[in-house]
Amino acid sequence: MPTAPPATPELDFRTPDEQFEGKAPFESWGRYPNYDANVVPLHWQSDYPAVASGMHNGVLPVGMGRSYGDVCLLRGGNLLVTTGLNRLIAFDPETGLLTAEAGITLAQILDFAVPRGFFLPVSPGTKYVTLGGAIANDIHGKNHHVAGTFGRHVTQFELIRSDGTRKLCSLTENSDFYAATIGGLGLTGLITWAQLRLKPIVSRLIDYEGIQFHGIDEFLDLTRQSQDIEYTVSWIDCASTGKNFARGVFMQGDHSTKRSELKPSPAPKLVFPFDAPGFALNHLSVSLFNTAFFHKQIHERVVALQDYEPFFYPLDKVLHWNRMYGKRGLLQFQYVIPWEHAREGTIAILKEVAKSGLASFLAVLKVFGDVPSPGMMSFPKPGITLALDFPIKPDKSFPLFERLADMTREFGGRLYPAKDAAMTAAQFQAFYPQWQQFARYRDPQLTSSFWERVTPNS
């Protein structure tokens, strides 16, 4: 009978003894793998020292669990869910510096910032990630070529280690922990709060342009022409071969400079002509989707004024779109290949994918710029990055992933841990040779299923 009382301060947190009772399955966004763990919610910064002492079988701070593979999982261990740490601490409207607890989501930050005329300096394809998670995965966005990674805009943060010590980390203070924690996969300690530099905007709207391209060379031409445009990203049809091979839609936009409403409009959020791909996702099969998406854009060029929500977060409209892949889940495969081999590598991998018949709804192609990340283990580097979604078919998917990972390695590239559930230890250690240096900054209590998998010899 569900008549439990409302939450009160006393209910916010169970006593340390009770936390270790019971297991709860915890799914990552890819729904694969799916491990049981003790799920311990953190609601106050002061909860952590009490919790971390005396925890066995490892601890991992997690946020919204929007990473795809196992970086946000810890089989049989303790997951500290940080989403209760979602308070703002300070905001300076002169400088745009926002200080907040690390469990706040980017959606919550936008709700606060946009009406005040500010925006995230870097935004991923979903706003349902936490500030701490964005730092731990050093996420990138459509403006990587001009803004670099998220970590570059994080001026300072506090890290608590499991021994209870607190470290203020910035470029000048504990700079080694600052570098290790940005892109550090949540393994260097719990980030309690962070300070982020927001950027001013005068409108919710994006001056958008969508352009069809046919093949990688046209994509690269468009990329060169759009160097001064803040946001660029491409959807690419990875199911087609022959004359349609590597066709796609190049999408670019800037924050509109025409001063306008900053409050959310209650009416349809989509202001102009072309629907977010998210709508189609639920209804069409892969190749139908891909063909439809390509031709959705009837003209070679479409110019529109679009609200920032569908521009940045087309899939957030379809809550739990990951479920369309069924219970087995999905895997993303995201590589970056440096310029030297970027073109040939991308063509080779797209051919391999098309040949496999395991097509992806969401193939996203983007160029990383040369703005360096402060993070020691950060994924982006200058070159081409491609992200592919695959539904999991055990006998076919994993051999393909292994082939693709090996090809990535041959072309001098690397894979994105936040999107991975398949790379081998040898592959990871080749992609990230600095991992042993990084391991020195890992909190001895903190680990993840990903880390156990890719560093079994550590």
Partner 1 sequence: MSQTDTNPRKILVLGATSGIAEATCRIWASQGARLFLVARNAEKLAAVAADLRTRGASYVDTAVADLDDTDNHPALLSHAVNSLTGLDIAYLAHGILGDQAKAEQDFNTAAQIIYTNYMAPVSLLTWLANFCVQRRAGTLAVISSVAGDRGRKSNYLYGSSKAGLSAFLDGLRNRIDREGVTVLTIKPGPVKTSMTSGMKGSEKFADVDKVAQSIVKAIDKRHDVLYVPFQWQPIMFIIRHIPERFFKKLNL
**Angle at the Cα of 274 (from 271 to 280), degrees rounded to 5?**
120
Identify the bridge partners of residue 194 per DSSP, sorted by sequence position: 100, 157
Q: How far is the CB of 315 from partner 1 (least distance, A)?
A: 19
Q: Please choose, out of 1-9, 194-202, 231-239, 450-458, the segment that lies near partner 1 by the rule CB under 8 A.
A: 1-9
Check: CB of residue 58 under 8 Å from CB of residue 74.
yes
Based on CB atoms, which residue is closest to partner 1, 104 or 388?
A: 104
Q: How far is CA 401 from the centre of its chain?
A: 20
Based on CB atoms, which residue is closest to partner 1, 108 or 252?
A: 108
Q: How far is the CB of 187 from partner 1 (least distance, A)?
A: 19
Q: How far apart are CA 190 and CA 210, in angstroms?
A: 41
Q: Please choose, out of 59-67, 208-216, 331-339, 395-403, the segment that lies near partner 1 by the rule CB under 8 A.
A: 59-67
422 lines the binding site for partner 1 (CB under 8 A): no
Q: How far is the CB of 198 from partner 1 (least distance, A)?
A: 13
Residues listed for the chain:
458
Based on CB atoms, which residue is closest to partner 1, 6 or 444?
A: 6
Check: CB of residue 309 under 8 Å from CB of residue 323.
no
In 297-433, alpha helices (H): 308-312, 339-356, 394-410, 425-431
Identify the bridge partners of residue 253 per DSSP, sorted by sequence position: 208, 231
Based on CB atoms, which residue is closest to partner 1, 7 or 298?
A: 7
Which of 30, 58, 61, 65 touches partner 1 (CB under 8 A)?
65
64 lines the binding site for partner 1 (CB under 8 A): yes
267 lines the binding site for partner 1 (CB under 8 A): no
Based on CB atoms, which residue is closest to partner 1, 74 or 422?
A: 74
266 lines the binding site for partner 1 (CB under 8 A): no
Residue 212, amino acid: Q
Among 453, 315, 331, CA closest to 31: 331
Q: Which of residues 2-21 bind partner 1 (CB under 8 A)?
A: 2-12
Cα distances (angstroms) measured from residue 143 to each of 149, 425, 437: 9, 31, 29
Q: How far apart are CA 271 and CA 255, in angstroms?
A: 15
Residue 138, amino acid: D
Based on CB atoms, which residue is closest to partner 1, 45 or 203?
A: 45
Q: How far is the CB of 84 from partner 1 (least distance, A)?
A: 3
Residues 84-123, mask of contacts with partner 1 (x by CB under 8 A): x-xxxxxx---------x-x--------x-----------
Which of 19, 32, 45, 48 touches partner 1 (CB under 8 A)?
45
If you search the block for the tokens 């922990």, which residue do you land on?
177
Q: How far is the CB of 1 from partner 1 (least distance, A)?
A: 4
284 lines the binding site for partner 1 (CB under 8 A): no
Q: How far is the CB of 168 from partner 1 (least distance, A)?
A: 17
Tell me the two tokens of residue 365: 């192609």
DSSP code per residue over 36-62: EEEEEE--STTHHHHHHTT--S-EEEE
42 lines the binding site for partner 1 (CB under 8 A): yes
Q: How far is the CB of 44 from partner 1 (least distance, A)?
A: 5
Based on CB atoms, which residue is closest to partner 1, 155 or 356?
A: 155
Q: What is the DSSP letter of 265?
A: P
Check: CB of residue 195 under 8 Å from CB of residue 234.
no
26 lines the binding site for partner 1 (CB under 8 A): yes
Based on CB atoms, which residue is closest to partner 1, 160 or 423?
A: 160
Check: CB of residue 149 under 8 Å from CB of residue 139.
yes
Based on CB atoms, which residue is closest to partner 1, 62 or 349?
A: 62
Which of 34, 39, 155, 348 touches partner 1 (CB under 8 A)?
39
Which of 17, 21, 25, 457 touches partner 1 (CB under 8 A)?
25
Q: Where are the beta strands (DSSP E) in 93-137?
A: 97-101, 118-119
Check: CB of residue 156 under 8 Å from CB of residue 374.
no
Based on CB atoms, which residue is closest to partner 1, 2 or 242?
A: 2
Q: How far apart are CA 317 and CA 456, in angstroms?
A: 39
Non-local CB neighbours of 260 within 8 Å, separated by 6+ positions: 202, 203, 204, 205
62 lines the binding site for partner 1 (CB under 8 A): yes
Residues forming contacts to partner 1 in the complex (CB under 8 A) are 1-12, 24-26, 39, 41-46, 62, 64-65, 79, 81, 83-84, 86-91, 101, 103, 112
